[in-house]
Amino acid sequence: MAVDPHNKSLDDRLRLQELRRFVERAMEQPVLRDALVLPALSQLQLLLGALAVAQAELADEVRSRLLTAMMMIYHGLCMHETVEEGAVPVQERRQLTILGGDYLSSLFYKVLADAGYLDAVRVFSKAIAAINEAKMSRHQARFNHLYYEPEYLRNGKTIHGALLHTLCELFLPEDRVLAFIDLAVAAAVWDEEIAVTKQLGQQARHGALEQVIDGFRQALALLREASAELFGADAWTQIQTLFTYADTSVASTKAVEGG
C-alpha cells in the first residue's frame, strides 16, 4: 500500500506546498498575526498527517480540510502553553495566546462541517480529551522531576500522536501505517526530550542524556526502515530533516511544539 515512489518527489506526490498554504490561510487571523502569537506550522505533524491519509480515497479539498482541522486542534492546544516575548506586552500576549488557542481549537468544527465530516468531530473530541489528560499528567511529572519514566514518555506520545491516530482510524486503519505513525511520534518525543535534558543540565539524573539519545537513535533506525518501505526512499530523506538532533537535520522550525 506504499505511495508510488516513482517519477515524482514526495512534496509533489502529497502536494505539500499547496497543503501548507491552505492550512496557513485557514489559521490566519489579523489580530493574532499582528501580535505574533500564531504558531509556525509543525512540519512533522503536517507531513505525517498527509502521509496517513495519502491512500484514502479523498478529494483534494476534503483532504486539505481534514488536515487543516487536525493542525488547528494541535496548535490550538499547544498555544495555551506558549507565551513568548514580543512587541505586545506580556500580559496582553498571554491573553491573546490563550484566546488564539481557543479560536483554533474551536474553529475545527466549522472546517470539518465544510468537509462534510461532522461525525469526525466526536472522534477528534475524544483525542482532545486524551491529549489534555496527558498534558496534565506530564506537567505533574515534570513538577516532581519524574522525567523519562514510561508513563511520562507515553504521555508525550499521546500529546503528539493522538490526532494522527484519529486520522488513521477514520480513513485508513491499517496496522502498518499506524505503526509508522507511532515510530515517528516516538522519535519526535525523544528528540524533544534531548532538548529538555540539556536544559536541565545537572538537575537531570545521571545518564539521562545518554538514555534519551539512545532511545532517539533506536526510534530513528526503525522509522527509517518503515518510512522507506511504506512511502519510498525520499520519504525518509525528508522526514529525518525534521528532527532537531538527527545527523542530517536542516529543520528551521521545531518538528514538535507545545506539550
For the entire predicted model, the pTM comes to 0.83
Which tens digit of pLDDT belongs to each residue from 70-128?
998 898 887 756 544 444 446 666 777 777 777 777 778 888 888 888 888 888 989 99
Residue 212 lies in a domain: yes
**What are the residue ranges in the chain where pLDDT is below 50?**
1-7, 83-89, 252-253, 259
pLDDT at 137: 92
Distance CA 28, CA 170 (A): 27
Longest dimension (CA), the chain: 52
pLDDT at 4: 47
Residue 245 lies in a domain: no
Residue 248 lies in a domain: no
Residue 142 lies in a domain: yes
Residue 147 lies in a domain: yes
Residue 25 lies in a domain: yes
pLDDT at 243: 93
Distance CA 84, CA 217 (A): 31
Q: Phi and psi dihedrals of 3, rounded to 5? A: -65, 140
Distance CA 258, CA 139 (A): 12
Range of the domain at 133: 10-240
pLDDT at 202: 66
pLDDT at 249: 54
pLDDT at 27: 78
Q: Is the dihedral of CA 109, 112, 118, 123 positive or negative?
A: negative
CATH code for the domain in which residue 118 is found: 1.10.600.10
Q: Domain tally for the chain? A: 1
Q: Phi and psi dihedrals of 205, rounded to 5? A: -70, 160
